A and B are shown apart, each in its own frame.
Chain A
Amino acid sequence: MRKFFPVEELARDERFNQVTMKERMADPRSGLPSAPGERSRSNRLVPSRPDASQAARALMHGIFVGEIQALEGAGRTCHDFRTAGDSARRAQDDAHDGVDTDDAVPFALKLDMARQAWDEARHVEISVKLSDWMGSEIGEFAENTVLFQAACSTDPILRLAGVNRALEGLAIDVFTTMKEFGDLAGDPFLEFCEDWMLADEVTHVKMGSDWLRRVTEHDPERRKKALEFQGVVDKLFSYGGTRSDSQESPIGLARRFRELAGFSDHEVEEIAEVSLAALEERKAAVAAMQSAARDVEQLAGG
């Protein structure tokens, strides 16, 4: 069976339309309320926002496609790396695809990934039902494929850092926001389901944190590389400021649940800084794109 599946070949039917992070960031429009460096009104996803229902539906669909990609990522990790000591698989890999994987992984790590894949499959089903409950159709919103891209590393430890700590860490922030939304709106299904999925996500992040420490226990260089990779992915997953401590961001940082998942205070602070930087960079980029567009318009007009 093929290893290291490229993001462009994920199986989707005609209902889905996929977009890349590059395409999303090339959008010169912005829903952010103020210029770079300024702080403005709250943009948090709460029921009192006039567009709350539509924004919640869009986020729920984002969760749904995120769960599909998380399932695909965890499943690939089970298969893409051989178990330590599996000489038969090693011979098979060497003869077959020639992909140079960094290392074999402990069987218990793969078992955790299998358990995670099972959880994610359940989350996909829950998300489909919640989306239906909220009036959305499958594929109604574009699917950003950046989540699976973080699951394409050939080093299993980088993959754990990208998927279990960055991606699932974002999931903790998103589920906390949606659980609170359901609670405030009095939506019993949303609040209940998000709470259950949140508990699983905390476990997934914890698994990533634990394995990262164990596998790199005697390899500080590899650990450093993995944590740097996580930093890059965390910035990407801030989606240009969609998630940060700033009230301008629809999704906040769920500090308490991140702590439960094994993030140190220092790590949470780093993510907070990276997210705020992403927010400011996005605002600056939008201002530059809009200014350039105005210049073009003036040139054309006169």
Chain B
Amino acid sequence: MSATGVTVTPQRFQFVHFDAELIQRVAESLVAALGLDRPVVIEVDETTPLARIDVTIDDAVTIRVESGAFEDTRRPRHQSEQATAASLGRVLLRARDRLLGGFGEAPADDRLTLAQTAAWNAYCAGRLARLGVHVAPQRWQYDFRNRHGFHDLADVAFERLWASDGLTWGELDEISRTAQHP
């Protein structure tokens, strides 16, 4: 574990050309920027190219991530620092939301609806962009539209989420719900 409390496993990859030190460095930088005060454990599943990420929060924030989430889509099996930062940043922000309060009523990650997940992702991606992490707004807007509909009301809701800081779960969920009914 590093001084700031980030652990990465495995340390050596067999199926992909990933660098555990790079993952740790990116995570440390995000943990510092977000002011997270718990150890972070990152477990990479390199047997699948899918990109799911599961997070559990107790004494530590444990992130189980499939290799596709850190992958350079231009160069299969190679790591992208940008994708690593965007994927970790998104779930660390979500963990921070839960830890800081205002998100006590939020369902567990595996109980979130697809629309709620898309709304929370948009909220996280907007904040990450303001932190200087490269995220493509149109990509997240497309995901938001897929879950809320392809209409103006959904686009207004997306813009609001993208530009927001300090939302509570109730506010976020309300924005998501109203966006689904043009």
Interface residues of B in 1-30 (CB under 8 A from A): 14-16
Main secondary structure on chain B at its contact with chain A?
Answer: loop
| Structural contact, A186 and B14, CB atoms closer than 8 A | no
| Structural contact, B51 and A57, CB atoms closer than 8 A | no
| Structural contact, A185 and B146, CB atoms closer than 8 A | yes
Q: Compute how far the CA of A51 lies from the CA of B157 in the bound complex, rounded to whole angstroms.
A: 21
**Chain B neighbourhood of A52, CB < 8 A:** 146
Q: Does B76 contact A (CB under 8 A)?
A: yes
Main secondary structure on chain A at its contact with chain B?
Answer: loop
Q: Compute how far the CA of A141 lies from the CA of B76 in the bound complex, rounded to whole angstroms.
A: 9
Offer 20 A-B interface pairs, CB within 8 angstroms, sorted by A.
Answer: A23-B76, A24-B76, A29-B47, A29-B67, A30-B49, A31-B48, A48-B114, A51-B51, A52-B146, A56-B146, A133-B138, A135-B137, A135-B138, A135-B142, A139-B74, A185-B146, A186-B150, A187-B145, A188-B150, A290-B47
| Structural contact, A54 and B76, CB atoms closer than 8 A | no
Instruction: Output the nearest chain A residue to B71 by Cβ-Cβ distance.
Output: A29
A293's contact among B15, B48, B77, B143, by CB below 8 Å, is which?
B15
Q: Does B181 contact A (CB under 8 A)?
A: no
B76's contact among A19, A31, A188, by CB below 8 Å, is which?
A19
Q: How large is the interface on A (under 10, 10 to 19, 20 to 34, 35 or more residues)?
A: 35 or more
Q: Does A277 contact B (CB under 8 A)?
A: no
| Structural contact, A142 and B75, CB atoms closer than 8 A | yes
Q: Compute how far the CA of A188 lies from the CA of B145 in the bound complex, rounded to whole angstroms.
A: 11
Nearest CB on A from B70, distance (A): 12
**Chain B neighbourhood of A259, CB < 8 A:** none
Residues of B within 8 A of A (CB): 14-16, 46-52, 67-68, 73-77, 114, 117, 136-143, 145-146, 149-150
Interface residues of A in 130-145 (CB under 8 A from B): 132-137, 139-142
Q: Compute how far the CA of A56 lies from the CA of B143 in the bound complex, rounded to whole angstroms.
A: 10
Known A-B contacts A31-B50, A50-B52, A290-B47; the reply to A140 vs B149 at CB < 8 A is: no
Interface residues of A in 18-59 (CB under 8 A from B): 19, 23-24, 27-31, 47-48, 50-54, 56-58
Q: Compute how far the CA of A142 lies from the CA of B78 in the bound complex, rounded to whole angstroms.
A: 12
| Structural contact, A58 and B146, CB atoms closer than 8 A | no
Interface centre among B50, B77, B137 (most CB of A within 10 A): B50
Instruction: Output the nearest chain A residue to B145 by Cβ-Cβ distance.
Output: A187
Nearest CB on B from A28, distance (A): 5
Known A-B contacts A53-B146, A137-B136; the reply to A27 vs B73 at CB < 8 A is: no
Q: Compute how far the CA of A140 lies from the CA of B76 in the bound complex, rounded to whole angstroms.
A: 11
Q: Compute how far the CA of A186 lies from the CA of B67 in the bound complex, rounded to whole angstroms.
A: 30
**Chain B neighbourhood of A51, CB < 8 A:** 50-52
